[in-house]
Amino acid sequence: MQATEPPVRFHTQRKVRFADCDPARIAFYPRYFEMLNGIVEDWFDSMGWGFGEMHIERDIGIPTRRLEADFLRPSHLGDILDLKLSVLKVGTTSVDLQTRFMCGDELRWTVKQTLVLVDMKAERPVPWPDDLRAKLQG
């Protein structure tokens, strides 16, 4: 990790599976976005804000407002990827994240994204609850 990288707030591993690969035998780029959604869901779950509770019980969600992705190197069937999520900024209703997909010391894919907390019935942004804001800010 370079000194300029933000601190990792959540880390998990993910094996590149057969279903992730295209006929060229590399990870098909849309699968990275599915993996990204998985790490975000796991991170929120680790903070006690599981997607089931958020969506079903609280009628709130965290849709992605913005994505900026850089595909740097291909991943192949069987590769073990380290997914490292960092918080860049917590706003009133949004959070900016960076997630890096590593294989060993090699950076494969990096993405910056903005998530917005939304009241699903009103379809409008709402402020982070204080307890979740504290967890987002670390």
Q: Which domains does the chain have, with CATH numbers?
A: 10-137 (3.10.129.10)
Name the residue type at position 107.
L
pLDDT in tens, 41-53: 999 999 999 999 9
Predicted confidence band at 138 (pLDDT cuts at 50, 70, 90)?
A: confident
* 88 backbone dihedrals φ, ψ, rounded to 5°: -95, -40
pLDDT above 90 for 111: yes
Angstrom distance (rounded) from CA 8 to CA 87: 8
Tokens 């060229």 belong to residue: 24
Can you give the pTM of this predicted structure? 0.91
In this prediction, residue 3 carries a pLDDT of 57
| Average pLDDT of every residue of the chain | 94
Taking the CA atoms of the chain, what radius of gyration do you get in angstroms? 16
Q: What percent of the chain has pLDDT over 90?
A: 92
pLDDT in tens, 123-137: 999 999 999 999 999
Asked whether the CA dihedral 129, 136, 65, 41 is positive or negative, the reply is: negative
